[in-house]
Structure formats: C-alpha cells, structure tokens
Amino acid sequence: MARKEFQIPDMYKSPIIRKVKEATKITDPMKKDLEPTLLDFGAVQFYIPRFFGFCYGVENAIDIAYRAVDEHPDKNIYLLSEMIHNPTVNENLLSKGLQFLFDTDGTERIPISSLNSDDIVIVPAFGTTLEIQDQLKEVGIDPYEFNTTCPFVEKVWKRGKQLGKKEYSLVVHGKHQHEETRATFSHSAEHSAVVVVLNPEEATILAEIMLNERPDSDFEKYFGHKSTPGFDPHKDLKRFGVINQTTMLATETQEVMDILKAAAIKIHGETDILNHFADTSDTLCYATNENQSATLELAKTDADIALVVGGYNSSNTMHLVEILEHSFPTYHVRDSGEMKSESMIHHFNQWKKEILKTDGWLPKDKTPLKVALTSGASCPDILVDEVLLRVLEFFEDSKEVDEVIEKFEDSQN
C-alpha cells in the first residue's frame, strides 16, 4: 500500500535534511540500514540518523489542522490542547487565530459549554478522553470531524478494547499526566480495570504486590491516583495485558512486560500463562521503534556532542535524549535560538525539569568537531536545518552547504 501523501506547509520543509532523507529512501528502500549519514563540512561533521523527525501521525495532524484553517476562514477554530508537542507548530497555529481549550495538563482555558455547533474543534494527535468527546457532542460539535488522533494511538485503543471483551484488565505503560495516556486511560476504563505504570521500577513494585512481597497498601500509595476505582491487584491482575503510550521507550515497554509476565508465571505457572498474560507487542508504534533504533545506532558513533531538537514537553524527544546522553554530552534544544553563542547554550534537562544554561558547550579543540544531530517526531526538519547552520556559524573554515549536499542530490537523479 502506498504511503498517504500529506500537505505540509512550505515553511516546515527543509532544503538540507529533506535531501538527505530522500537520498536514503532511494539507497535503502527496504529500511534495513540503520547506519547514520555523515555530512562532512570539514571543520564540523554531522552524524544524521536514518530515521527522525515528523512521523505519519504528526504529518496527518498538521495536514488536517491547516486544511481546517484554510477551508473555514470565517469560523471559530479551537484546539483541544497542543496539537503536537512542538512550540513552533503550535505558535504558528495560534497566530492564525486558533485558541486552546485546555492546557497540556488538562486545565481548562475556555469552557466547552461556551462553544456552539458552528464552531470547529480539532482533536490533537494524542487523542482525547471519552468525557471530553461527550462534552463536545452536547454542544453540537462532532469530535471526529477534525480528528487528528494518530492512527497508532487508535490502534492501541482498539487492541485494549479487544482485550476488554475477553475480560482482561489493562496495564498502561506511560506518563499518567500526558495527554495521550489520559486519553488511553479513559478509553480503556470503559471496558477494563486499568492501572498506569511509569517505568520498570514501578512495574517491579506492582509485581511484588501481585506476589505478596509488598503490602496491599503500597498499591494505593504508588498507583491509587492512576488506576480505575476499586482496582484490586490480586483479582484484576489474574488476567491482564500491557498497552503503552506510543512515545515511550520501546525497550522499556518490553521490560515492563517482562517483569509483569514473570510475576504472572510465578503465580499461575508457565504452561497456563497465555490465559493470564496477553501478548500485546503489536501495540508498539513503528515510528517510535524506528526512531529509537536509529538513535541507538547514532549513539555508537564517535561524536563529541549530540544535539536533539524538539519541544521541551515532547515525550518521544526526551527518550532520544535519554538514549544519547549515555554516550556523549547531549543538549536538548527547542530551536537554534537556544544556541546563544559558541560558549553558551540554553537546553532542557528532563531530570531536573528545568532549562539549564551551559557554558563551554561547544568543544573548539576538536578537529573536526563531530556532532550527532537528530530531532523528535513532532519537530519540523527546517528546525534541524537551522540548528545545523547555527553550529556552522561558529566555524569560519567550514565547507559551503551546497557543496556538501550535492552528492545527495546526485543520488536522486
């Protein structure tokens, strides 16, 4: 099946990175080669991963949102919340007169009850809750008319519903306050008992409760605020499956599954495990897998530093940073404006949850300087171009861009 073609605004299109991506599609049509591409500017060399940037779900969301704006210039148009976690895209939509109904944490900005049936509401790529869907219907707005929910998020919901019909409970691997996890929790709670776990450490706590190695009171302590009312870990986890927030680390989701499956085997035995633990590996998003696999290969290079471009509330971007920071100094920047000078950079630290100012970030004693450069799934490639060009500004003797990307243009002819 041919991949759907989306209409992406020209301002997000990239003259540099786009040519690299188009060239690798030609040289590796089966997507088997994860080796990063080298852009050699002489004084600076950039390692570009095989997969990064806009995914199918994000392109779909942008296509629908901008089409709604173009086709309905006289209507009030609202976004439920940030359409995707990229400030450049959201700020541009707001500049066109769109308004947010909610903040990303769910705080109401504009009451849905104040809207009417002539208004347009765009559901974000993360999806939304059944409660909000019902509120929109009450004021005469079809929540599915401009629904940009990622197809892979909907796939997770569908798989959860299938399990619910078979009387499985659900464990959601995700960040319980993230819009996508809130939506997945809402859809799942319609048919199943649900609990959210953040990471393997929390999965271990849940497993120990299942095995009576921890008191039941620990369930309320760790999971009471992110589980369906009356969730009983001993009764509800006799038969369960693990689904996920699609932007989580795929390796971590697998680890969560393995920990909980091992606990179920201890309780029920190996031979009968399929009646107690559902195989849900098919809910992992292909784009998340590709991007993370490509980033793992990027981490194997001999780069001196890494730059990761993306929104500071972007979960998938944070996981790329998490992969790379084990290998070299890694800076998460929203755009080139954070690179204040060759000595000062502003960047987000997800562990401290704050923007740091780091002096001496750019090693000038390396010849050449090797930079691993990538971006999150909601980041336009043009922002990656701008970061690349900003780094080159700090090196007077670097090659011209046209000279470096010429070979990529030749490969397409």
Residues tagged active-site: 180
Q: How far apart are CA 172 and CA 156, in angstroms?
A: 10
For 135, phi then psi, to 5°, come to -65, -40
CA distance 119 to 111: 13
Strand 344-349 versus strand 37-40 pairing type? unpaired
- String of DSSP letters for 159-175: HHHHHHHTT-EEEEES-
Question: What is the 3 state secondary structure string of 86-108?
Answer: CHHHHHHHHHCCCEECECCCCCE
Our CA angle for 148, 154, 159, nearest 5°, is: 180
Distance (Å, rounded) from C-alpha 23 to C-alpha 40? 16
Q: Which residues fall within 8 angstroms of residue 26, CB to CB, at 6 or more apart? A: 411, 412
One-letter amino acid of 376:
G
| 369: β partners | 44
Contacts of residue 229, defined as CB under 8 A and 6 or more positions apart, other chains included, come to none
Strand partners, 99: 78
Collect all residues with Cβ–Cβ distance below 8 Å to 278 and sequence separation of at least 6.
163, 166, 168, 240, 241, 242
Strand, coil or helix: 182: helix
What's the rounded Cα separation, in Å, for the pair 247 and 226?
Answer: 19
Q: How many CA atoms lie within 13 A of 308 on its CB side?
A: 32
Buried b or exposed e, range 222-258, using 16+ CB within 10 angstroms: bbeebbeeebebeebbbbbbbbbbbbbbbebbbbbbe
Distance (Å, whole) CA 322 – CA 72? 41
Determine the distance from the C-alpha atom of residue 332 to the mean position of all C-alpha atoms in its chain, rounded to a whole number: 14
Over its C-alpha atoms, the chain yields an Rg (Å, rounded) of 23
